[in-house]
Structure 1
Amino acid sequence: MVYGSEAIHPTNLDYGAPRVRAYDEQGAEASLEDTMDQLDEARDVALLRSAKYQQALRRYHSHRVRGQAFNVGDLVLGLIQSNKDRHKLSLLWEGPYVIAEVLRPGVYKLKTIDGEVFANAWNIE
């Protein structure tokens, strides 16, 4: 019933225990306000630390990722998009496919080994 503080027994109230006599209503309210201010500050500090961590993680990842560019005629594998009838031992990739055309950096037209060109373009990002 009393979260974060010690309970006062009714006998302490009746006989005027030192803890009850030393209680100051205004001091308790001021202490509560100070605690609430510190709580808001702690939340702000945690938010800033989290943002700083996310930035460092993003910078680390961006530094480690290498860009990939393909030329016409390169062989590539395509990620299987559908999860239908799949289990944990299913293959993740299908292909190989041949790069038929480079539409712009990162966007390619693919064709099968037999020469059948797909209608849609594939984005490697």
Structure 2
Amino acid sequence: MVYGSEAILPTDLDYGAPRVRAYDEHGAKASLEDAMDQLDEACDVALLRSAKYQQALRRYHNHWVRDRAFNVGDLVLCLIQSNKNHHKLSPPWEGLYVVAKVLRPGTYKLKTIDNKVFINA
């Protein structure tokens, strides 16, 4: 194959090899267009399958997620985001914090028991 087409020897052209005699230019173009249409269709099918899988995965994940709402003054623990300087037996949670302010549902401003505002760095 040379850049998407087959190489033909000059002697095949001179003596009329069977594959040269059987070649139909119009049929080859139609076949190429059909192949391109099938490729586009296969890409569309793959895209739809991927979207369907993502929806099912999102639905499964959301099934197990429980909403929790905290109010001002509630005591909470904070998940450690960085494992730097922690070993595998370290607790995954840190501190005892107080909810200082509810910014929006699921987002809170925390402070320590000493009334120092917690900054997640």
Same fold (TM over 0.5): yes
Other structure's SS at 1:95 match: strand
Aligned residue in 1 for 2:34: 34
Q: Report if the CA contact (8 A) 1:75-1:98 is conserved.
A: yes
What CA distance in whole angstroms lies between the structure 2 residues aligned with 1:6 and 1:92?
A: 65
Other structure's SS at 2:69 match: coil
Cα deviation code 1:66-89 (max 9, x no counterpart): 2233453424125357x9xx4674
Q: Report if the CA contact (8 A) 2:96-2:112 is conserved.
A: yes
Q: Write 1 or 2 for the structure with the bigger share of strand.
A: 1
Aligned residue in 2 for 1:108: 108
What CA distance in whole angstroms lies between the structure 2 residues aligned with 1:98 and 1:42?
A: 53
Other structure's SS at 1:69 match: coil
What CA distance in whole angstroms lies between the structure 1 residues aligned with 2:36 and 2:48?
A: 19
Identity across matched positions, percent: 61
What CA distance in whole angstroms lies between the structure 2 residues aligned with 1:92 and 1:19?
A: 73
Aligned residue in 2 for 1:65: 65
Taking structure 1 as reference, are residues 8 and 88 closer, same or farther at Cα in structure 2, changes over 3 Å only?
Answer: farther
Q: How many pairs are equivalent? A: 117
Cα deviation for residue 12 of structure 1 reads 1.7
Instruction: Name whichever of 27-36 and 59-68 sits farther off.
Output: 59-68
Normalising by structure 2, what TM-score? 0.71
Unaligned segments of structure 1, at least 5 residues? none
Task: Give the superposed CA RMSD.
Answer: 3.2
Taking structure 1 as reference, are residues 110 and 97 closer, same or farther at Cα in structure 2, changes over 3 Å only?
Answer: farther
Aligned residue in 2 for 1:95: 94
